[in-house]
């Protein structure tokens, strides 16, 4: 394949501690904690899959945490965010509560979708997350409509559409980019390019690997960067979201990353037909969490002991929520029929 | 009372909705053109401006999806598909998204979107400019489906659909646009209270129509009445969720059922009605096996003689009624 991403897609590159410059240490520590929370929550969900406690399809984004954390920093509750099948991070980064997420994954009534959606259907409207679905690219036109509504409202709210590189192979992405551009809508398209669609590497699916080329074709300003660099993604997202709020129209952020687990489930070697063992090993050195932690430790903003304490604190929070979620009740059978329409019954 | 055509009645509904409900906007192809949607939206763009009457690129899927998205943010969009055939590009937005969000998000999100699909056939338009696919959509839980047959319903069901918090597919038929009726003043009515309605009473047979076929049923019933045969005509109106009990009660009285549907036969609406009646009628109450009159299971032809053979009219209904009456 003719790679235009270069080092961004090179598993041996971009693995040094982050260049944090003069970033606010408190903000970096908050980013680190949220990334650790997402990482640990997904590890525990993965353990639940392995133990057959989680039955619904669970698509883990371990290794991709920086993107959602960086983008969400610049969003507010009245913004409108839409995700896909791999959206635990989108939910948690927006401030969605941990316990309802874990309860949802377990099919419990206390879940963020009342136990009716599972891992692939997450909802936290008060934080701005209006929904996630596994139909690839399914929410992208919905986000365009939410941006249209935001433009009509005139209060400076924006929409965010998260999708992967595979979604760019769906026609509706192109319709959506076109509508957003021609109507100058306040929306940020965030492509988490992890180089795989299910088990297929991008070299087997597209003639080149930079997804932002589709934004170019629709005259949407685009940035392609290292998705495992929370500082860089945050800076780019801040600019693009501010632009959209101010009426500049849509933006396209392509964040190159890598998922450590298979397409679905907890295993690292699940992906049929793909032997990515050596590459995965190298990508783990591009860990977005470790690169930030290393930079903070090197910059004397965090001690090794404090980092260990932070990890223990996050682990305790996740395990406590997991225990509660496991013990929570399932939805009543009446929900089968009484949630089909807004008016219960017929 | 004022004499209004079916097409003009649709336009009255748009005017009413746009005047009284600021959260309503319309999006679709050809809305600024003169001929895409007959006389049903004439000059609405001039009255309400291009931001509330949005003519769109030919992007059925993204436009329908965008309307679903806007409906999750406090708006009540109406998407117009000037031909139902092209709406098939929007299946994901309709079936996977709009119809599912309430249920799969635990009753927290309600896409209050209305999708207007127009059946536009005849005139040698052929296989991809003629389809009536209402039965497909009536199969989907969570998606309300209405088909107005009368000018009054053309107006009132559109208003009820748009004010409903659920996604609604509203299907009108261009073969009905010239039908005129005296219309009473508009009264908003919740869609969930609407269902099949008896348009003409009669004791010898129950004739069920949907959309345009209801009009043919009424014409047939009128002709039969001049020969002393009294049939009951029921207009289905709301295809999903389906309330069969008006029809069941009628067949209990008449003992005979003919369902007339301008869609295909296999897995169609007519078969569903007959199944509902059969399930709910005590054994022995039918004087004859129920029958259905539908399109043949073939795509629409273009050539005029084949078209005449493909579509049924009043005379085929009369023939079928006479056969059932023995």
pLDDT in tens, chain B (326 residues): 689 999 999 999 999 999 999 999 999 999 999 888 989 999 999 999 999 999 999 999 999 999 999 999 999 999 999 999 999 999 999 999 999 999 999 999 999 999 999 999 999 999 999 999 999 999 999 999 999 999 999 999 999 999 999 999 999 999 999 999 999 999 999 999 999 999 999 999 999 999 999 999 999 999 999 999 999 999 999 999 999 999 999 999 999 999 999 999 999 999 999 999 999 999 999 999 999 999 999 999 999 999 999 999 999 999 999 999 98
Q: List CB contacts of A189: < 8 A, sequence separation 6 or more.
A: A140, A161, A163, A177, A180, A215, A220, A250, A251, A252, A253
Out of A242-251, A273-282, B216-225, pick the least confident. Answer: A273-282
Pair type for strands B144-146 and B76-81: unpaired
Selection from A153, A163, A152 nearest residue A82 by Cα: A163
* A316 belongs to a structural domain: yes
* pLDDT at residue number A344: 56
- Report yes or no: B61 at the A interface, CB cutoff 8 Å: yes
What residues of A are in contact with residue B102 (Cβ under 8 Å)?
Answer: 339-342
pLDDT on residue A55: 96
Q: Of B189, B190, B206, which Cα lies nearest the Cα of B198? A: B206
| Interchain contact, A341 vs B75, CB within 8 Å | no
Question: Does the pLDDT of residue A19 top 80, yes or no?
Answer: yes
CB atoms within 10 A of CB B189: 13
Residue A300 inside a domain? The answer is: yes
CATH (domain of A143) = 3.40.50.970
Using 50, 70 and 90 to split pLDDT, how confident is the model at A273? low
What tens digit of pLDDT does each residue of A98-125 get? 999 999 999 999 999 999 999 999 999 9
Residue A194 has pLDDT above 80, yes or no: yes
Lowest mean pLDDT among A23-32, A276-285, B141-150, B242-251: A276-285
Under the banding of pLDDT at 50, 70 and 90, the label for residue A272 is low
Q: CA B222, CA A47: separation in Å to the nearest integer?
A: 71
Window A:64-93, CB contacts with B under 8 Å: 80, 82
User: Band of the pLDDT at A274, cuts 50, 70, 90?
Assistant: low
**pLDDT score, position B299:** 97
Pick the range with the lowest mean pLDDT from A86-95, A120-129, A220-229, B122-131. B122-131
- Compute φ and ψ for B239, nearest 5 degrees: -85, -30
What domain range includes position A110?
Answer: 24-260+270-337
Asked if residue A185 is part of any domain, the answer here is yes
Band of pLDDT at residue A345, cut at 50, 70 and 90: very low
Residue A344 lies in a domain: no
Percent of chain A with pLDDT over 70: 97
* Residue A315: predicted pLDDT: 98
Show me where the domains of chain B are located.
2-193, 197-325
CATH fold of B197-325: Rossmann fold (3.40.50)
Which of chain B's residues have a Cβ under 8 Å away from the Cβ of A144? 62, 65-66, 69
Kindly tell me the burial class for residue B39, based on how many C-beta atoms sit within 10 Å of its own C-beta (0-12, 13-18, 19 or more).
Answer: middle
Cα(B111)–Cα(A81) distance, integer angstroms: 16
Which of A131, A152, A175 minimises the CB distance to B101?
A: A131
The CATH T-level fold of domain B2-193 is Rossmann fold (3.40.50)
What does the pLDDT read at residue B326?
A: 86
Number of Cβ pairs < 8 A linking chain A and chain B: 157
Residue A92, pLDDT above cutoff 50: yes
CA–CA min distance B203, chain A (Å): 29
By CA distance, what is B61's nearest residue in A?
Answer: A172
**Inside any domain, residue A11:** no
Q: How many domains does chain A have?
A: 1
The pLDDT value recorded for residue A268 is 87
CA nearest neighbour of B193 among B144, B255, B142, B265: B144
Q: DSSP of A273-298, one letter per residue?
A: T---HHHHHHHGGG-HHHHHHHHHHH
The ipTM value here is: 0.96
Determine whether the interchain pair B192/A135 forms a contact, defined as Cβ–Cβ distance below 8 Å.
no
Number of Cβ atoms within 10 Å of the Cβ of A321:
19
Residue B20: in which H helix or E strand, if any?
helix B6-20
> What is the mean predicted confidence (pLDDT) over A138-166?
98
The Cα–Cα gap between B61 and A178 comes to: 12
Label the pairing between strands A159-164 and A196-197: unpaired
Q: Is the pLDDT of residue A138 over 70?
A: yes
pLDDT number for residue B1: 65
Instruction: List, in order, residues 6 or more apart from B193 with CB less than 8 Å away.
Output: none
Instruction: Answer yes or no: do A335 and B106 touch at CB < 8 A.
Output: yes
CB contact, 8 Å: A338 with chain B?
A: yes
Pairing of strands B24-28, B76-81: parallel
> Given pLDDT bands bounded at 50, 70 and 90, which one contains residue A62?
very high
Residue A251: phi, psi to the nearest 5? Answer: -135, 160
Region class of A285: left (phi > 0), else alpha (psi between -120 and 50), else beta: alpha
DSSP assigned state of B115: E
Name the DSSP class of A218.
Answer: T
For the segment A43-55, the average pLDDT, to the nearest whole number, is 97
Helix (H, G, I), strand (E, B) or coil at B159: helix
**A222: helix, coil or strand?**
strand
């Amino acid at each position: 394949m003719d790679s235009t991403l270069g080092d961004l897609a090179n598993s041996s590159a971009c693995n040094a501690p982050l260049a944090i410059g003069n970033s606010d240490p408190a903000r970096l520590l908050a980013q680190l904690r949220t990334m650790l929370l997402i990482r640990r929550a997904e590890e525990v969900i993965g353990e639940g899959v392995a133990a057959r406690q989680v039955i619904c399809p669970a698509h883990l984004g371990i290794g991709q945490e920086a993107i959602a954390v960086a983008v969400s920093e610049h969003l507010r509750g009245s913004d409108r965010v839409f995700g896909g099948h791999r959206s635990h991070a989108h939910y948690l980064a927006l401030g969605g509560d941990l316990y309802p997420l874990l309860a949802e994954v377990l099919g419990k009534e206390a879940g963020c979708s009342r136990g009716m959606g599972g891992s692939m259907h997450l909802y936290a409207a008060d934080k701005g997350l209006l929904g996630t679905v596994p139909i690839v690219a399914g929410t992208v036109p919905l986000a365009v409509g939410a941006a249209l509504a935001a433009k009509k409202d005139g209060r400076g709210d924006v929409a965010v559409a998260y999708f992967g590189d595979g979604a760019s192979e769906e026609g509706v992405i192109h319709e959506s980019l076109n509508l957003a551009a021609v109507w100058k809508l306040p929306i940020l398209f965030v492509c988490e390019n992890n180089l795989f669609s299910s088990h297929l590497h991008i070299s087997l699916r597209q003639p080149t690997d930079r997804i932002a080329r589709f934004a170019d074709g629709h005259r949407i300003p685009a940035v392609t960067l290292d998705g495992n660099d929370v500082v860089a993604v945050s800076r780019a997202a801040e600019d693009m979201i501010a632009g959209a709020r101010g009426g500049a129209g849509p933006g396209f952020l392509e964040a190159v990353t890598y998922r450590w687990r298979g397409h679905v489930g907890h295993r690292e070697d699940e992906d049929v037909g793909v032997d990515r063992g050596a590459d995965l090993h190298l990508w783990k050195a591009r860990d977005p969490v470790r690169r930030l932690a290393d930079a903070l430790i090197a910059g004397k903003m965090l001690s090794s002991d404090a980092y260990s304490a932070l990890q223990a604190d996050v682990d305790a929070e996740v395990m406590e929520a997991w225990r509660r979620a496991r013990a929570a009740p399932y939805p009543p059978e009446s929900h089968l029929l009484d949630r089909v329409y807004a008016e219960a019954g017929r | 009372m004022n004499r209004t055509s079916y097409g003009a009645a649709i336009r009255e509904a748009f005017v009413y909705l746009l005047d009284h409900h600021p959260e309503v906007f319309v999006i679709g192809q050809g809305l600024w053109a003169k001929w895409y949607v007959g006389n049903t939206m004439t000059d609405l763009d001039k009255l309400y401006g291009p931001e509330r009457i949005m003519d769109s690129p030919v992007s059925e899927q993204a436009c329908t999806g965008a309307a679903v998205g806007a409906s999750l943010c406090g708006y009540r969009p109406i998407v117009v598909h000037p031909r139902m055939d092209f709406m098939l590009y929007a299946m994901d937005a309709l079936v996977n998204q709009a119809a599912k969000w309430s249920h799969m998000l635990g009753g927290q999100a309600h896409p209050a979107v209305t999708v207007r699909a127009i059946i536009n056939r005849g005139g040698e338009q052929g296989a991809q400019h003629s389809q009536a696919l209402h039965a497909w959509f009536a199969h989907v839980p969570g998606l309300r489906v209405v088909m107005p047959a009368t000018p009054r319903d053309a107006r009132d069901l559109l208003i009820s659909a748009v004010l409903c918090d659920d996604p609604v597919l509203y299907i009108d038929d261009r073969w009905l646009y010239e039908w005129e009726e005296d219309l009473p003043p508009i009264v908003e009515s919740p869609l969930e209270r609407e269902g099949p309605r008896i348009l003409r009473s009669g004791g010898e047979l129950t004739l069920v129509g949907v959309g345009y076929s209801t009009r043919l049923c009424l014409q047939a019933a009128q002709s039969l009445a001049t020969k002393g045969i009294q049939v009951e005509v029921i207009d289905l109106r709301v295809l999903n969720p389906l309330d069969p009990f008006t029809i069941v009660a009628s067949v209990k009285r008449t003992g005979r059922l003919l369902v007339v549907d301008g869609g295909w036969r296999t897995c169609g609406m007519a078969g569903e009605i007959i199944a509902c009646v059969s399930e709910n009628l005590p054994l022995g109450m039918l004087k004859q096996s129920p029958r259905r009159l539908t399109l043949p299971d073939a795509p629409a032809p273009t050539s005029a003689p084949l078209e005449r053979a493909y579509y049924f009219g009043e005379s085929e209904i009369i023939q079928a009624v006479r056969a059932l009456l023995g």
